[in-house]
C-alpha cells in the first residue's frame, strides 16, 4: 500500500484542530451512523470494542449535559450541533462470546471487575482515537473535552446502566477563523527510541 493522499493526511492529522466555535450547519443522523460504521473497525484487544456513544442533540438533553460541564466548556457545548458522550461499557465482556468466539475471554473479565474496568478504559480510549479520526475523515470537526463532572454525567445519563463516561466531544463544522494558535508537541527524540 501507499500513503493516502496529502489532502487526507492534512484533514486527519497535520491541519486538523480542536474546535470550539461552530458554523450554523447541521450534522444529520446519517453522518453519526457513518461515523460509527467507520470507527467500529479499529482493532481492540480480543475484539472487545467497549466504547459506547451517546449523541446528544435535543435541547432538553443538551441542557442536562450543560449542567455537567466545566464553566469553560459550556458555551462551546451549547452551540455545537451534536455533542458525543464517548463512554465505555464496564460489562463489555458479556458480548465476547459473539465478538471473539475463538476462546473464552469472558470468564476472566467477569471474575475480575478491576481488570475489566482497566481494559474498558484502555480499549475504550483506543476507540476514542478511532472516533476522532473517523469524524475528521467524514469532514466533521471535533472538540474533545476532559473538563466535566464525570459523576454528574454518569448519574444523568447512565444511572441504570453499566456505561460510564470517558470523554465528551463536540461535533460539527468548525469556524476556523476562531481557532487559537496550536500547542507544541514533543520531538521524536523526546517521545521515541529506535533500538
Binders of a second copy in range 123-182 (CB under 8 A): 123, 125-130, 132-134, 137-142, 144, 146, 166-167, 173
Which is closer to a second copy, CB of 52 or CB of 106? 52
Residues near a second copy (CB under 8 A), total? 77
Determine how many CB atoms are found less than 10 A away from the CB of residue 179: 14
- Cα 17 to Cα 163: distance, rounded to the nearest angstrom: 28
Q: Interface with a second copy includes 7 (CB under 8 A)? A: yes
Q: Which of 20, 22, 52, 76 binds a second copy (CB under 8 A)?
A: 52
Q: Which of 51, 80, 90, 171 binds a second copy (CB under 8 A)?
A: 51
Name the 3-class secondary structure at 103. coil
List Cβ neighbours of 16 (8 Å cut-off, separation of 6 or more). Answer: 10, 136, 141, 142
- Cα 77 to Cα 169: distance, rounded to the nearest angstrom: 9
Taking phi first (over 0 means left), then psi (-120 to 50 degrees means alpha), and beta for anything else, what does residue 190 get?
Answer: alpha
Residue with cell string 476514542: 128
Which is closer to a second copy, CB of 56 or CB of 69? 56
Site string for a second copy, 54-93 (x = CB under 8 A): xxxxx--x--------------------------------
Please choose, from the candidates 106, 87, 110, 108, the residue with its C-alpha nearest in 3D space to the C-alpha of residue 97. 106
Rounded to a whole number of angstroms, the minimum distance from the CB of residue 62 to a second copy is 9
Rounded to a whole number of angstroms, the minimum distance from the CB of residue 79 to a second copy is 18
**94 near 106, Cβ under 8 Å?**
yes
- Cα 108 to Cα 104: distance, rounded to the nearest angstrom: 8
Q: Which of 14, 114, 159, 160 binds a second copy (CB under 8 A)?
A: 14
Which is closer to a second copy, CB of 74 or CB of 121? 121
DSSP state of 131: H
Q: Which of 26, 33, 107, 111 binds a second copy (CB under 8 A)?
A: 33
Amino acid at each position: 500500500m501507499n500513503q493516502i493522499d496529502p489532502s487526507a493526511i492534512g484533514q486527519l492529522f497535520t491541519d486538523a484542530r480542536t474546535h470550539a466555535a461552530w458554523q450554523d450547519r447541521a450534522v444529520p443522523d446519517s453522518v453519526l451512523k457513518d461515523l460509527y460504521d467507520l470507527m467500529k473497525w479499529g482493532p481492540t484487544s480480543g475484539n472487545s470494542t467497549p466504547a459506547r456513544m451517546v449523541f446528544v442533540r435535543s435541547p432538553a438533553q443538551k441542557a442536562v449535559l450543560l449542567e455537567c460541564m466545566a464553566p469553560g466548556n459550556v458555551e462551546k457545548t451549547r452551540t455545537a450541533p451534536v455533542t458525543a458522550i464517548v463512554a465505555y461499557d464496564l460489562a463489555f465482556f458479556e458480548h465476547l462470546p459473539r465478538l471473539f468466539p475463538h476462546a473464552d475471554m469472558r470468564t476472566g473479565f467477569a471474575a475480575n471487575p478491576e481488570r475489566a474496568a482497566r481494559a474498558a478504559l484502555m480499549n475504550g480510549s483506543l476507540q476514542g482515537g478511532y472516533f476522532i479520526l473517523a469524524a475528521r475523515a467524514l469532514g466533521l470537526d471535533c472538540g474533545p473535552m476532559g473538563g466535566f463532572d464525570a459523576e454528574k454525567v454518569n448519574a444523568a445519563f447512565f444511572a441504570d446502566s453499566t456505561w460510564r463516561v470517558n470523554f465528551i466531544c463536540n461535533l460539527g463544522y468548525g469556524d476556523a477563523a476562531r481557532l487559537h494558535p496550536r500547542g507544541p508537541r514533543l520531538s521524536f527524540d523526546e517521545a521515541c527510541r529506535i533500538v
